[in-house]
Amino acid sequence: MGLTTGVALAYLGHKVVGVDKDPSKIALLSKGKSPIHEPGIEELLVEIKREQLTFTEDTAAAVRDAELIMIAVGTPAKANGEADTSYVEAAAEEVAQSIEEGKRYILVVKSTVPIGTNRRVSHVIEQVLKKRGIQAHVYLASNPEFLREGLALRDTFYPDRIVVGSESPEAVEALRRLYRPILEQTFNPPGFLPRPESYDLPPLITTDPTSAEMIKYAANACLALKISFINEIAGLCEKVGADVVEVARGIGLDARIGPAFLGAGIGWGGSCFPKDTAALLAMGREYNYAMPIVAAAREVNWRQRERVIEKLQSALKVLRGSVIGVLGLAFKPGTDDVRESPAIDVVRLLLERGAHVRVHDPVAVENARKELGSRVEYYDNVYELARDADALVLATEWSQYFDLDFAELAGRMRQKVFVDGRNIFTPSEVTRWGFIYMGMGR
Ligand code: UDX
């Protein structure tokens, strides 16, 4: 999020300095290389003029002359699900150590932070300034981010809305100016990212910081529970003989429901939904307020992983010693991120059952290796992976898998069992080659 925002703002003509503690990231970025797989980032790193966008490990140097400072550090989940804001507070403290007497700064919290964090940040800044015995004007704003991995630049240039929560008119005005090219769509789109034809100008929602913080959590939880809802319906579809893909289409056309995020499958993962729903529950506990809907969304989501194991077990009978290939390891296509990836969870469950697991992913193998080590076999080629395998599980819907040659796979496998964990195939396309096809909810 930090990298995408920095790159996008520089592209829009702002002068941006990106700060990170990790020297290897700074070294890569300074050479125009992205430390993560995110479409378009490297193209823009090359396109943007050097003086517009620089990278450093030196917070003080970056902050001193800045007009606007964004904190975009991580807020990982603690063991009890609460979001850990210590990096945000540490960043705020460093910022306060670096600002100069008498100057004016806008400090923007972009990280996803629990309710009240803005107040804490403001307190941290005041304390440090007091200790330093200096005065400066620091105007705070909460500006949550809604970008998706794999589509991060698209979501930044063409957002549905921009949310600014602040009690300071100066901060609101500064952010309105900062985002003006996006709000008014006056920039020339990058060649690879044309403005979508039906795109309307995004509204700027200005509100109080607490509501802005809540908007972020509520948005992610709402999307997560939409997916869990369709997954719950998918389970019942299997029992009664309905096809959840048809059901999702049928309900998604109702404008009040909408078609997005009704893709049934092995569930949601990634760096946001799991962490943010856990953080919401933790906030609920803190305020002695039960949140059964969010809790149920998480339960259903975990059950989807187990459903895959049940399906394999019903087809293969014995999992111990079976050779199972898992296609896709990233938590979704378009990214090399495997954090909370449903695919990785499925692999782990299979290993626990004594299966022999082979894996393939077009970009996430390096990250997956850190999670799975040498307990699985890594393949570059799906057809090699399929040789003498008992079953294949499609866990991440990479476009490469859409044109799998089932005739070829059928000739290579020991048993022809295919679990379509993302419902990307028409069952008959697969069964005509002699496969047992099992989707999720069909
Ligand atoms: C999400 C939010 O969409 C974004 O607004 C927020 O800023 C960060 O969190 P991201 O985690 O990048 O973005 O991915 P997203 O595209 O939302 O997908 C999340 C998970 O849901 C993935 O594991 C995906 O496979 C799953 N998913 C998505 C489904 O299972 N079915 C769907 O229909 C859609």
Q: For residue range 287-308, list pLDDT tens digits in order.
A: 999 999 999 999 999 999 999 9
Residue keyed to tokens 């290993």: 351
Whole-angstrom distance, CA of residue 158 vs CA of residue 183:
9
Q: How confident is the model at residue 50 (pLDDT cuts 50, 70, 90)?
A: confident
Strand partners, 54: 17
Residue keyed to tokens 């199972």: 324
CB atoms within 10 A of CB 408: 13
pTM of the model: 0.95
Q: How many Å lie between the centroid of ligand 1 and the Cα of residue 270? A: 7
CB atoms within 10 A of CB 370: 8
Q: How confident is the model at residue 345 (pLDDT cuts 50, 70, 90)?
A: very high
Domains of the chain: 2-209 (3.40.50.720), 297-438 (3.40.50.720)
| C-beta of 148 in contact with ligand 1 (< 6 A) | yes
Nearest-CA residue for atom 7 of ligand 1: 146
Alpha-carbon distance values, 195 to 61, 93, 240 (Å): 35, 39, 43
Q: How far is CA 189 from the centre of its chain?
A: 23
Q: How many Å lie between the centroid of ligand 1 and the Cα of residue 188? A: 28
**From the candidates 53, 153, 171, 272, which is the catalytic residue?**
272
Nearest-CA residue for atom 1 of ligand 1: 148
Whole-angstrom distance, CA of residue 40 vs CA of residue 46:
10
Whole-angstrom distance, CA of residue 41 vs CA of residue 269:
23
What is the mean pLDDT of the segment spanning 207-235? 97
Whole-angstrom distance, CA of residue 43 vs CA of residue 212:
32
Nearest-CA residue for atom 6 of ligand 1: 146
| C-beta of 367 in contact with ligand 1 (< 6 A) | no
Residues of the chain with pLDDT > 70, as a percent, come to 100
Q: How far is CA 97 from the centre of its chain?
A: 32
Whole-angstrom distance, CA of residue 296 vs CA of residue 293:
5
Angle of the 86-98 helix axis to the 117-132 helix axis, nearest 10 = 30
Contact status, residue 104 vs residue 65, Cβ threshold 8 Å: no
| C-beta of 285 in contact with ligand 1 (< 6 A) | no
Length of the chain: 442
Contact status, residue 380 vs residue 361, Cβ threshold 8 Å: no
> At 159, phi and psi to the nearest 5?
-75, 160
Active site residue 272: yes
Residue 111 has pLDDT above 90, yes or no: yes
Q: How many Å lie between the centroid of ligand 1 and the Cα of residue 148? A: 7
- pLDDT, tens digit, 9 for 90 and up, residues 165-218: 999 999 999 999 999 999 999 999 999 999 999 999 999 999 999 999 999 999
For a pocket test of ligand 1, which of 332, 337, 361, 422 has the largest count of ligand atoms closer than 8 A to its C-beta? 332
What is the mean pLDDT of the segment spanning 351-358? 98
pLDDT of residue 139: 97
| C-beta of 345 in contact with ligand 1 (< 6 A) | no
Q: How many Å lie between the centroid of ligand 1 and the Cα of residue 196? A: 20
Residue keyed to tokens 């941006």: 16
Nearest-CA residue for atom 22 of ligand 1: 268
Nearest-CA residue for atom 17 of ligand 1: 148
Tell me the one-letter amino acid at 31: K
What is the mean pLDDT of the segment spanning 263-281? 96
Closest by CA to 206, choosing from 143, 164, 162, 160, is 164
Residue 11 has pLDDT above 90, yes or no: yes
For a pocket test of ligand 1, which of 216, 262, 331, 394 has the largest count of ligand atoms closer than 8 A to its C-beta? 331
What is the mean pLDDT of the segment spanning 154-159? 98
